[in-house]
């Protein structure tokens, strides 16, 4: 599926890991556990969250996720996501990767491909055109896709939002059918890019999932010194 990334990727000595999955898949929990494990081993990573990894991104995140913004249209939504991503690429990701850091991002362009490109029906072409402008070919060296069923996803998200009294629930409030399309899009993308996107069963206990992720990551980190892998 190399046609999904037409722009020549930038060269850098660091390693770029992203986490993907439908809302409630456990990305935040797994990133926290991985950061803890890596830091204990003397490999503290740089962490980015999308949207919102920068101060400007946080302001954009407020617009995107506010449950009151029911009139936000798909194209405007798409542009806002890439505005936040472009800021993170220039402010956080590329500088850290150029410095040889391990970078972990909670979502990247794969999210936009499946949420806006597939679930919103905007198509992959427009997403990838904006990706070429905003990210200039940057893509993860490895992506962990936490896969859970939509019922579990929605139940987890509802519990989390209730516990935190969050008003940033606009996407969580989407229908089960919407989240089912998102999951299907993720699995199709993973099937097209098996070298880069590794599917991990997110329905298991958190510690068990964390151990699986760590076992998958370590060989890729070792190979990173020999050159980048993947064709998607």
* pLDDT > 90 fraction of the chain, expressed in percent and rounded: 73
For residue 58, tell me if it sits in a domain: yes
For residue 39, tell me if it sits in a domain: yes
Domain of residue 69, CATH code = 3.40.50.300
C-alpha distance from residue 97 to each of 12, 139, 141, 144 (Å): 6, 11, 11, 18
For residue 84, tell me if it sits in a domain: yes
Query: Given a cut of 90, is residue 168 above it in pLDDT?
Result: no
Overall number of domains in the chain: 1
Residue-wise pLDDT tens digits, 26-72: 999 999 999 999 999 999 999 999 999 999 999 999 999 888 998 99
Residue-wise pLDDT tens digits, 77-110: 999 999 999 999 999 999 999 999 999 999 999 9
* pLDDT > 70 fraction of the chain, expressed in percent and rounded: 88
Say how far residue 214 (Cα) sits from the centre of its chain: 17
pLDDT (0 to 100) of residue 155? 77
For residue 231, tell me if it sits in a domain: no
Q: Count Cβ neighbours within 10 Å for each residue of 206-216 and write b for 16 or more, e otherwise.
A: eeebbebbeee
Sign of CA dihedral 169, 174, 179, 185: negative
For residue 230, tell me if it sits in a domain: no
For residue 232, tell me if it sits in a domain: no
Please measure the distance between the N-terminal and C-terminal CA atoms of the chain and give it in whole angstroms.
Answer: 6
For residue 158, tell me if it sits in a domain: yes
Give the three-state DSSP class for 50.
coil
C-alpha distance from residue 120 to each of 5, 134, 163, 186, 202 (Å): 21, 20, 28, 14, 24
pLDDT (0 to 100) of residue 1? 40
For residue 187, tell me if it sits in a domain: yes
Average pLDDT, the chain: 89
Q: Which domain holds residue 90?
A: 2-224
pLDDT (0 to 100) of residue 232? 66
pLDDT (0 to 100) of residue 223? 78
When pLDDT is cut at 50, 70 and 90, the band that residue 166 belongs to is low
Element (H, E) at 157: helix 150-164
Distance CA 59, CA 224 (A): 34
At 130, give phi and psi (nearest 5°).
-70, -35
Give the three-state DSSP class for 64.
helix
């Amino acid at each position: 599926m190399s046609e999904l990334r037409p722009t020549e990727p930038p060269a850098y000595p660091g390693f770029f890991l992203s986490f993907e999955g439908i809302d409630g898949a456990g990305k935040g929990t797994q990133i926290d556990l991985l950061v803890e494990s890596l830091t204990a081993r003397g490999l503290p990573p740089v962490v980015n969250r999308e949207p919102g990894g920068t101060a400007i991104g946080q302001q954009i995140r407020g617009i995107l996720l506010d449950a009151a913004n029911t009139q936000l249209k798909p194209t405007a939504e798409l542009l806002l996501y890439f505005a936040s991503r472009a800021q993170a690429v220039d402010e956080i990701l590329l500088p850290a990767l150029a410095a040889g850091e391990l970078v972990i991002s909670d979502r990247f362009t794969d999210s936009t491909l499946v949420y806006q490109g597939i679930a919103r029906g905007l198509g992959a072409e427009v997403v990838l055109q904006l990706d070429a402008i905003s990210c200039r070919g940057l893509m993860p060296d490895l992506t962990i896709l936490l896969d859970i069923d939509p019922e579990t996803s929605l139940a987890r998200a509802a519990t989390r939002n209730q516990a935190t009294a969050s008003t940033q629930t606009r996407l969580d409030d989407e229908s089960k059918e919407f989240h089912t399309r998102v999951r299907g899009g993720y699995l199709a993308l993973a099937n097209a890019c098996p070298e880069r996107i590794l599917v991990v069963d997110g329905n298991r206990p958190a510690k068990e999932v964390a151990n699986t992720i760590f076992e998958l990551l370590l060989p890729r980190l070792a190979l990173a010194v020999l050159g980048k892998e993947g064709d998607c």
